[in-house]
């Protein structure tokens, strides 16, 4: 069909003059041309939505990865553990001057077990730092740590070979040990099960009965991967500390907060060692539960900040979409007027504009989702043992959010388009 024939057909359809029909056809053709020219403008607007959803999901996935990395540092460590450490007194008491040194003893362990039934575990440790460890031509430096079998309730080991220290080892004073992963790699570079062989720690030989590959960096008396664990009874003799212990670890039963029983705990220890129970420095009490709570609250705040930044960026993109659609509706006044003239209802115009908004935001947003997943997967590969990922439901909710944003972006332009009347459109042209 030639342009003249098209003008004639429009004139007959609208029951108007050829001059008006000519104006209408030219307006439609100009609108198409302007739309193609405005493609760059639309692309930039879509990029705003793309970048917003990408930043939201990337920050959420990155936050999950960082949280997982920090959580791995606490792997195996009981969150309800309370650590007792002796220190110099800062208050005089019953004839004793301040500044006195004292030490926790094995008797304190038994005393707490008897006098505080609310405690589930009371276990001491002895440690010798920077011990020289040897096996044939291999050597390493690590910490020698004496523990009871119930220490597994404080730091849960991840046994790759063999077993952990048990009650029989302690009672029979067996010279056995469990080695950390880094020491294992240094002494046994070829791998394999080392259980049964004897290694030399200092001047004493111990039979390896297990390998602990715990990856957590939060560990008492040195990192777990650089420790040689031996029975407490053997450590007492080897280290020659008498009844003294380095630290005492306690855990409470389910639903019990040890911070509520701190005064009772201090009084029991203070009465035996003759220091003021109010002297907080004399007996240092560390609540790991509070540490974990601080870390958890920190991540809640970070997640909230990420959500605000991401939603703000998306909202900016959606506002950009709405603005460009308002301009587009204004430029398409004649086209919309012609559609109204040939029978399109206000509802048809409304749905058309809203669907255009949904399509623009959804296509741009889905591209952002795909790109964010790609980047997060790449980070997972580049940084081992991490979880830079978003959940399936996060992606689904993001897609639904995009559809909602598309509706909101198209509402104002749609209502503007509905108000356009065919007669006014022709006059404007």
258-276 pLDDT tens trace: 778 888 889 999 999 999 9
Q: Which domain holds residue 104?
A: 88-118+253-281
Q: Is residue 349 part of a domain?
A: yes
Q: Do 271 and 197 have their domain in common?
A: no
**What is the model's pLDDT at position 36?**
42
pLDDT over 80 at 164, yes or no: yes
Residue 162 has a pLDDT of 95
299 and 180 assigned to the same domain: no
Based on the domain organization, do 127 and 218 belong to the same domain?
Answer: yes
Say how far residue 37 (Cα) sits from the centre of its chain: 45
Q: Are residues 277 and 302 in the same domain?
A: no
Percent of the chain surpassing pLDDT 70: 68
**126 shares a domain with 20:** no
- Residue 26 has a pLDDT of 64
Element (H, E) at 239: helix 232-239
Nearest partner of 162 among 200, 207, 127, judged by Cα: 207
For the chain, how many structural domains are there in total?
3
Q: Is residue 81 part of a domain?
A: no
Q: Report the pLDDT value the prediction gives residue 183, as an integer from 0 to 100.
A: 93
Domain match, 159 and 181 both: yes
User: What's the pLDDT at 135?
Assistant: 93
CB 175 within 8 A of CB 190: no
Predicted confidence at residue 306, as pLDDT, reads 73
Which of 376, 363, 298, 296 lies closest to 55 in space, CA to CA?
376
In a domain, 360, yes or no: yes
Query: Angle at Cα 183 formed by Cα 182 and Cα 185, nearest 5°?
Result: 65
Listed residue (404, 395, 348, 393) closest to 371, CA to CA: 395
- 104 or 155, which is more confident? 104
CB 122 within 8 A of CB 248: yes
The pLDDT value given to residue 38: 45
Query: Has residue 341 got a pLDDT over 70?
Result: no
Let me know if residue 102 belongs to a domain: yes
What are the tokens at 28?
Answer: 């439609």
Same domain, 97 and 156: no
Over residues 99-121, the pLDDT tens digits come to 899 999 989 999 999 998 888 88
**Residues 135, 169 within the same domain:** yes
Indicate whether 148 belongs to any domain. Answer: yes
The answer to whether residues 421 and 363 belong to one domain is yes
CA distance to 77, 219, 229, per residue, from 151 (Å): 10, 12, 11
Cα–Cα distance for residue pair 417/350, rounded to 1 Å: 7
Task: With a cut of 90, say whether residue 148 has pLDDT above it.
Answer: yes
- Domain membership flag for residue 175: yes
The answer to whether residue 139 sits within a structural domain is yes
Residue 86 to residue 123: CA distance in whole angstroms:
15
- pTM exceeds 0.75 for this model: no
Question: Does residue 313 share a domain with residue 264?
Answer: no
Does 319 lie in the same domain as 349?
Answer: yes
pLDDT in tens, 58-88: 777 777 777 766 666 655 555 678 889 999 9
Q: Cα–chain-centroid distance for residue 343?
A: 56
pLDDT tens column, 14-44 = 566 776 666 665 655 555 455 544 444 455 5
- How distant is the alpha carbon of residue 381 from its chain centre? 17
Looking at residue 25, its pLDDT comes to 57
pLDDT in tens, 167-180: 999 999 999 999 99
Q: Are 55 and 317 in contact (CB under 8 A)?
A: no
**Segment (H or E) for 198:** strand 198-201
Answer yes or no: do 93 and 133 share one domain.
no
pLDDT at position 399 over 80: no
Q: Indicate whether 324 belongs to any domain.
A: yes
Q: What is the CA radius of gyration of the chain?
A: 37
């Amino acid at each position: 069909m030639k342009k003249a024939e098209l003008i004639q057909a429009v004139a007959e359809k609208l029951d108007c003059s050829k001059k008006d029909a000519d104006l209408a056809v030219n307006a439609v053709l100009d609108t198409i041309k302007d739309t193609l020219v405005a493609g760059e403008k639309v692309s930039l607007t879509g990029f705003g939505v793309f970048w917003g959803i990408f930043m939201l999901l990337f920050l959420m996935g990155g936050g999950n990865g960082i949280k997982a990395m920090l959580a791995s540092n606490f792997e195996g460590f009981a969150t309800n553990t309370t650590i007792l450490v002796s220190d110099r007194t800062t208050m005089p008491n019953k004839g004793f001057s301040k500044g006195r040194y004292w030490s926790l003893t094995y008797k304190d362990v038994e005393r707490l077990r008897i006098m505080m039934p609310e405690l589930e575990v009371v276990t001491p440790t002895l440690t010798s730092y920077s011990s020289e460890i040897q096996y044939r031509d291999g050597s390493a430096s690590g910490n020698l740590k004496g523990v009871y079998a119930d220490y597994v309730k404080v730091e849960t080991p991840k046994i790759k070979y063999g077993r952990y220290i048990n009650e029989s080892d302690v009672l029979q004073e067996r010279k056995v040990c469990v080695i950390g992963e880094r020491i294992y790699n240094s002494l046994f570079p070829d791998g394999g099960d080392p259980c049964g062989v004897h290694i030399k720690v200092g001047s004493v030989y111990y039979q390896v009965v297990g390998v602990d590959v715990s990856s957590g960096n939060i560990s008492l008396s040195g990192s777990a991967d650089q420790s040689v664990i031996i029975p407490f009874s053997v450590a007492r003799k080897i280290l020659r500390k008498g009844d003294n212990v380095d630290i005492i670890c306690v855990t409470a039963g389910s639903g019990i907060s040890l911070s509520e029983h701190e005064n009772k705990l201090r009084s029991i220890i203070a009465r035996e060692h003759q220091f003021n129970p109010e002297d907080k420095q004399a007996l240092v009490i560390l609540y790991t539960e509070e540490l974990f709570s601080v870390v958890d609250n920190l991540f809640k705040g970070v997640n909230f900040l990420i959500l605000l930044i991401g939603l703000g960026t998306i909202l900016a993109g959606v506002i950009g979409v709405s603005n460009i659609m308002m301009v587009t509706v204004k430029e398409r006044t004649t086209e919309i007027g012609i559609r109204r003239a040939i029978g399109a209802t206000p509802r048809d115009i409304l749905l058309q504009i809203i669907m255009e908004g949904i399509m623009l935001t959804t296509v741009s947003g889905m591209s952002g989702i795909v790109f964010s997943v790609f980047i997060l997967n790449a980070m997972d590969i580049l940084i081992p043992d991490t979880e830079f990922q978003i959940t399936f439901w996060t992606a689904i909710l993001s897609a639904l959010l995009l559809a909602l944003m598309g509706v909101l972006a198209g509402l104002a332009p749609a209502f503007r388009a509905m108000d356009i009347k065919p007669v006014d459109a022709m006059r404007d042209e």
